[in-house]
Structure 1
Amino acid sequence: MKPTVHDIAAHAGVSLATVDRVLNNRPGVSIVTRRKVEEAVATLGYVRDLAAANLAKSRTYDFVFILPANDNSFMAGLRAEVLDAARRAGMERMRITILDTVAFDTASLVTALDEAEALKPAGVALVAVDAPDVAAGVSRLRRAGIPVVTLVSDLSGSERDHFTGIDNIAAGRTAASLLGRFTGGRKGTVAIMAGSMLVRDHRDRFEGFAAVMAADFPQLTLLPVLEGRDDPLHVEALLGGVLSKAADIIGLYSLGAGNRGLVKALEGLQPGRRPLVIAHELTPVTRAALLSGLIDAVLNQDAGHEVRSAIRVLKAKADGGAMLAAQERIRLDIFLKDNLPEQAE
């Protein structure tokens, strides 16, 4: 059974009136009590059912998702989650439009933002390229009264309403801690493969990774970051070239996508030459590589949770309500071959 406001009140040890004030962001609740209610919401997995209220008001939400049109497995999965939400949209009185952009292309994204503004939606979610022109486009949407959520990768210096994604600096720090421990004190070099340093999630991951490596594992030297643009063929060519030339590479951090190319490059090495590898996003490709030993650990974010969270936040902004921070926190999962979840049928 779905949790109710009665369950929240019982779990937090407060009255129904207090729960109602917190859920509707009304005054008269102390910080401590508000935190208890928000923690109860997160623990119980309570999701407010705004559909019934909006049905009575004949309210329909038009949302635009701006997504890069590339074929890496994570973005394909993210798109599939948006399409799944679009299929359910009628029941929740929503309409969802997807606008495609060229991956890592500032001009393409700015054009899509202008197209979104012309549609006059109730909210926009975008996978951001971290550039001033994109921030300016987001500002134009906000001035037009359109809420904006950045998805997966954030946007520096912008007026966006919310970022829906993992803490990418923490993700990079986690990757460094895992890789440093796995190498067991050995000296050597570490290769780093990014998609593009134009996007903030990749820069943040590198920042966190480099900081922990410098502080805790000074015996490991970081090679210059390779930028594969999340393209499997480009990733394979770049990594193949570096791995064939540098015999002292004992670690590899793949902080972007394009992992089909990563696996191909690793398969081309003799087993004794293969480095320890930390990658991002649990996909069929990285799952198989974990099981075969080509990849040692995968850091994962739940694309479905991110899409659902973005929709909840945009709905709350459109309604003039408040989001529940604990409910919208995106978790970072660490997978080894020993703790892989079962695959869906």
Structure 2
Amino acid sequence: MMVFDGRRPLIPDIATMAGVSTATVDRVLNRRSGVREATLRRVLEAAVHIGYMDKEELSKRLGPRFAKVVFLLPRGTNPYLTGLNTRVRELADLSPGPVKVRSHFIESFNPDALAQALRRYGKSADTVVFMAIDHPQVRQAIDELVMAGKRIITIISDLPSSNRHLYLGIDNFAAGRTAAQIMGRFCHVTSGKLALIAASRAYRAHMEREMGFLALTEASFPYLSVIGPHEGHDNRDENYQNTCRLLQAHPDIVGIYNVGGASDGIGRALRESRRDADICFIGHGLTPDTRSMLLDGTMDAVITQSPDLIYSRAIAAATGEQTDVAPVAMEIYFSENLPAAHHVM
């Protein structure tokens, strides 16, 4: 049994009782971030046990506190990500409870920029929510933040080889297989080509969608050959130019699957070539532009994931109320089952 003298307990006494360093005790007592929840509780309980603070103060310290959450999203012309950022900011103003939410755009497809942003914004945040790029620099930044007691959540595109706590998004391999199933059923031909257009293979989500699409097409529709992927970096102008070249070089294209965003560039090329009625076009992200293309027949189907659900589950995970690791529900829309327009970003 540990015995202390009659003097007022000091930080070293708390450190000894809790089995941590004096620096950790100092961080806890001065309410600085970077301490794991279990360690924080152990230090505070040790402080009560030796008489440094009373139980009322302990209750205050362990009670609700503001959880600082930061969202990091890629900058670019991807309407879904732009809309997600807007929706995050709208929902942040409505979030009940002790949560402070901020969102920032960062340079797209740049692992160094993402790693720097993780370290920069992770210093003052309790939880960082972001779309991961599969790169060693990003994994290192994640692992550093986790070691510092931060909660790391990936959305839309995962990085499972890191120490991130949670992934929130659809099953992207299943999404690619679903796109192939729909396209194979819609293309009433005995032979033809399917074109794959991607943003960048830096995103694991796009690689998984591509792999799922290729696997099911080969198994179920062997008479359809796949060309690509052609990277458009979620840029409508690049997607437009890629599609124009594909249509000119391959007159036997019967389907296009865009695994990324900025589908409006592809739609423009299809309409200008007057091939929009002949080619099955499937993409991701229900946004104002994809909604319009579903209604006018340029697109046949859109696979999406609810930004509201991603946000609510991220906040629940940040505040310790959500530990569910099940994928976010995949939503598929055609022209006939579109939700009300105000539900679209």
The two structures have a TM-score, normalised by structure 1, of 0.78
Paired residue for 1:81, among 52, 77, 87?
87
Q: Do the aligned partners of 1:194 and 1:202 also contact (CA within 8 Å) in 2?
A: yes
In the alignment, what sits opposite 2:236? 232
CA distance in 2 between partners of 1:342 and 1:64 (Å): 29
Task: Check if 1:169 corresponds to 2:176.
Answer: no
Task: Check if 1:180 corresponds to 2:178.
Answer: no
78-87 vs 141-150, which moves further: 78-87
CA distance in 2 between partners of 1:324 and 1:152 (Å): 16
The count of corresponding residues between Structure 1 and Structure 2 is 285
The two structures have a TM-score, normalised by structure 2, of 0.78
Report SS of the residue matched to 1:92: coil
In the alignment, what sits opposite 1:103? 108
In the alignment, what sits opposite 1:338? 336
Report SS of the residue matched to 1:268: helix
CA distance in 2 between partners of 1:247 and 1:286 (Å): 24
Q: 1:66: Cα distance to partner?
A: 1.1
Unaligned runs of 5+ residues in structure 2 are 1-58
210-219 vs 285-294, which moves further: 285-294
Q: 1:224: Cα distance to partner?
A: 1.8
- 1:172-199 CA deviation, whole Å, 9 max, x = no partner? 0000000011113420111111111110
Q: Do the aligned partners of 2:133 and 2:203 also contact (CA within 8 Å) in 1?
A: yes
Q: 1:142: Cα distance to partner?
A: 0.4
- 1:234-255 CA deviation, whole Å, 9 max, x = no partner? 1101111111221110111011
Going from structure 1 to structure 2, the CA distance change for 1:54 and 1:153 (only over 3 Å counts) comes to: farther
Q: 1:305: Cα distance to partner?
A: 0.7
Q: Do the aligned partners of 1:100 and 1:112 also contact (CA within 8 Å) in 2?
A: no
Q: Do the aligned partners of 2:313 and 2:322 also contact (CA within 8 Å) in 1?
A: no
Q: 1:322: Cα distance to partner?
A: 5.7
Q: Do the aligned partners of 1:243 and 1:249 also contact (CA within 8 Å) in 2?
A: yes
Paired residue for 2:78, among 72, 75, 85?
72
Going from structure 1 to structure 2, the CA distance change for 1:331 and 1:55 (only over 3 Å counts) comes to: farther
In the alignment, what sits opposite 1:60? 66
Q: 1:55: Cα distance to partner?
A: 11
CA distance in 2 between partners of 1:74 and 1:245 (Å): 30
Report SS of the residue matched to 2:254: strand
Q: Do the aligned partners of 1:55 and 1:93 also contact (CA within 8 Å) in 2?
A: no
Q: 1:99: Cα distance to partner?
A: 3.1
Written as runs of structure 1 = structure 2, the 5 A alignment for 1:243-262 is 243-262=247-266
Residue 173 of structure 2 aligns with an amino acid whose one-letter code is: I
CA distance in 1 between partners of 2:62 and 2:161 (Å): 39
Going from structure 1 to structure 2, the CA distance change for 1:147 and 1:56 (only over 3 Å counts) comes to: closer
Paired residue for 1:308, among 302, 306, 312?
312
In the alignment, what sits opposite 1:142? 146
Report SS of the residue matched to 1:344: helix
- 1:256-297 CA deviation, whole Å, 9 max, x = no partner? 101121111111112487411111111111111111111111
CA distance in 1 between partners of 2:322 and 2:315 (Å): 13
207-216 vs 66-75, which moves further: 66-75
CA distance in 1 between partners of 2:115 and 2:82 (Å): 22
Q: 1:100: Cα distance to partner?
A: 2.4
Q: Do the aligned partners of 2:70 and 2:129 also contact (CA within 8 Å) in 1?
A: yes
Query: How large is the Cα RMSD of the aligned pairs?
Result: 2.0
Report SS of the residue matched to 2:72: strand
CA distance in 1 between partners of 2:137 and 2:236 (Å): 28
Q: 1:54: Cα distance to partner?
A: 9.6
Which is greater in Rg?
2
Written as runs of structure 1 = structure 2, the 5 A alignment for 1:1-345 is 57-89=63-95, 91-119=96-124, 121-271=125-275, 274-316=278-320, 323-325=323-325, 329-344=327-342
Residue 344 of structure 1 aligns with an amino acid whose one-letter code is: H
Residue 116 of structure 2 aligns with an amino acid whose one-letter code is: T
Q: 1:56: Cα distance to partner?
A: 9.4
- Aligned-pair identity in percent equals 31
127-136 vs 182-191, which moves further: 182-191
- 1:110-131 CA deviation, whole Å, 9 max, x = no partner? 1101102322x22111111111
CA distance in 2 between partners of 1:124 and 1:272 (Å): 41
- 1:51-107 CA deviation, whole Å, 9 max, x = no partner? xx9999251111111111223210011101210232134x42211222321111111
The structure 1 segments of at least 4 consecutive aligned residues displaced by more than 4 Å after TM superposition are: 53-56
Unaligned runs of 5+ residues in structure 1 are 1-52
CA distance in 1 between partners of 2:279 and 2:249 (Å): 13
Going from structure 1 to structure 2, the CA distance change for 1:267 and 1:124 (only over 3 Å counts) comes to: same
